[in-house]
């Protein structure tokens, strides 16, 4: 569910008409609903509380899904922690009000500098993904006179049945330590200074719409916990990652409800006496955001009709990167008598991959009208770029009948000032001066 609905024939974000936002800041823009962010977090938290009432749980919002400070702060006020994959994301989480003891550091390529900052900050846990990373973390912690709480991320070799570019739990993926090597690496970790080995981490992929791969992975985790405890390791935490999908295709694409997910978690690992950590990102932010864009031209080709809009692949790359589907809604509500036409919705970037939808059935939409690209709250603005020297689009947060600009559209001057022309390219330059 989300809070983008038609009121009086116009699409609203909560109680704010989208044309009112466009009139003030122009298009394109991202628009997020605070009510949707809050509802999705609360539904997930309530599901875990009901299914696992005797278990200590920590929900660490996956910052990489949407790292805007206002989004993180909205979730921090509800008690969320953060799953981060870089020093930059750690700094964002701290700036948004998430306490260090609720922050988990994931990712395959942590540097010594990032480890040092995280250790000095006092985060809850490092999810370590390889033996070389484990050795570096040990040296870094020892140099600081600190101790790192560590969960080793294991790769369970489970096919999540999702897009290959967001699959992370198969043996061929770069993530985690091979399952067969787990006991050896845990034994090594126990002997390293500066390392407090507390748990297991697993994450098999993103946008999963079936509980079966989760359950297969979590049952493997359960067996590994029992094996490791038999080896003398006091496993007290299990990080089960994220990955629960969202409905990108409206009512035709319904993933499992968090209640079903939580019940499955409890069946698999709820009686192990471990703190359970979760890293939801997309399921909280995905349907809480849309990308609003205006039609520049309606172009009739030989076999197709194109709607050329003022947003582009640099603003939302998911359709071309992942072959992703996003529902598209006209901002002006269609009339029941409107015919259905077929459009390719494309942007102005000079790439054939610059599209949002192909052969999409929609009511008639003309130049100057706006459309909303739905389910764009996760992996949208965070993956945007300034390709073709296009400024990043602004981000808006709505709460009730108010809205705020939470990231402004940069000026062209600000964009150009990021570059520096060396002195030797100045016509007046002389090396002898």
Residues forming the active site: 350
Q: Can you tell me the distance from the alpha carbon of 371 to that of 313, in angstroms, rounded to the nearest whole number?
A: 15
At CA 247, angle to CA 47 and CA 88, rounded to 5?
A: 75
Asked if residues 242 and 281 have their Cβ atoms less than 8 Å apart, the reply is: yes
Q: How many angstroms from the chain centroid is the CA of residue 182?
A: 28
Q: How many angstroms from the chain centroid is the CA of residue 402?
A: 25
At CA 377, angle to CA 33 and CA 52, rounded to 5?
A: 80
- Write a three-state SS string for the chain: CCCEEEECCEEEECCEEHHHHHHHHCCCEEEEEHHHHHHHHHHHHHHHHHHCCCCCEEEEEEHHHCCCHHHHHHHHCCCCEEEECCHHHHHHHHHCCCCHHHEEECCCCCCHHHHHHHHHHCCCEEEECCHHHHHHHHHHHHHHCCCEEEEEEEECCCCCCCCHHHECCCCCCCCCEEHHHHHHHHHHHHHCCCEEEEEEECCCECCECCHHHHHHHHHHHHHHHHHHHHCCCCCCEEECCCCECCCCCHHHCCCCCHHHHHHHHHHHHCCCCCEEEECCCHHHHHHHEEEEEEEEEEEECCCCEEEEECCCCCCCCHHHHHCCCCCEEECECCCCCCCCEEEEEECCCCCCCCEEEEEEEECCCCCCCEEEECCCCCCCHHHCCCHHHCCCCCEEEEECCEEEEEECCCCHHHHHCCCCCCHHHCCCCCCCC
Question: Parallel, antiparallel, or unpaired: how do β-strands 125-128 and 148-155 relate?
Answer: parallel
Tokens of 368: 């100057």
């Amino acid at each position: 569910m989300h809070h983008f609905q038609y009121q009086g024939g116009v699409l609203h974000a909560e109680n704010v008409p989208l044309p009112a936002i466009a009139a003030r800041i122009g298009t394109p823009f991202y628009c997020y609903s605070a009510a949707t962010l809050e509802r999705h977090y609360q539904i997930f938290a309530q599901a875990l509380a009901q299914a696992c009432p005797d278990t200590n749980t920590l929900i660490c919002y996956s910052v990489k899904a949407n790292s805007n400070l206002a989004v993180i702060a909205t979730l921090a006020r509800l008690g969320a922690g953060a799953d981060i994959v870089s020093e930059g994301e750690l700094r964002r989480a701290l700036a948004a009000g998430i306490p260090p003891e609720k922050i988990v550091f994931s990712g395959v390529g942590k540097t010594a500098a990032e480890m040092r900052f995280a250790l000095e900050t006092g985060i809850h846990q490092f999810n370590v993904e390889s033996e070389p990373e484990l050795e570096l973390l040990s040296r870094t912690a020892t140099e600081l006179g600190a101790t790192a709480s560590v969960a080793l991320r294991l790769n369970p070799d489970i096919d999540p049945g999702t897009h290959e570019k967001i699959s992370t739990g198969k043996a061929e993926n770069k993530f985690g330590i091979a399952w067969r090597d787990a006991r050896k690496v845990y034994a090594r970790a126990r002997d390293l200074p500066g390392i407090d080995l507390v748990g297991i981490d697993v994450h098999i992929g993103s946008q999963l719409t079936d509980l079966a791969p989760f359950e297969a992975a979590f049952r493997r985790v359960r067996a590994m916990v029992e094996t490791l405890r038999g080896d003398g390791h006091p496993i007290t935490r299990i990080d089960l990652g994220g990955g629960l999908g969202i409905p990108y295709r409206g009512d035709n694409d319904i993933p499992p409800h968090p209640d079903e997910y939580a019940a499955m978690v409890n069946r698999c690992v709820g009686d192990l006496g471990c703190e359970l950590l979760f890293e939801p990102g997309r399921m909280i932010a995905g349907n809480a955001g849309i990308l609003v864009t205006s039609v520049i031209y309606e172009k009739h080709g030989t076999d197709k009709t194109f709607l050329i809009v003022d947003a582009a692949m640099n603003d939302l790359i998911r359709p071309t990167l992942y072959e992703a589907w996003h529902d598209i809604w006209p901002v002006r509500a269609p009339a029941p008598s409107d015919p259905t036409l077929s459009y390719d919705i494309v942007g102005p970037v000079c790439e054939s991959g610059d599209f949002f939808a192909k052969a999409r059935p929609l009511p008639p939409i003309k130049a100057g009208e706006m459309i909303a690209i739905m389910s764009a709250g996760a992996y949208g603005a965070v993956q945007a770029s300034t390709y073709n020297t296009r400024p990043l689009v602004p981000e808006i947060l709505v709460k009730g009948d108010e809205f705020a600009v939470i990231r402004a559209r940069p000026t062209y001057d600000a964009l150009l000032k990021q570059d520096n022309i060396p002195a030797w390219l100045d016509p007046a330059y002389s090396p002898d001066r």
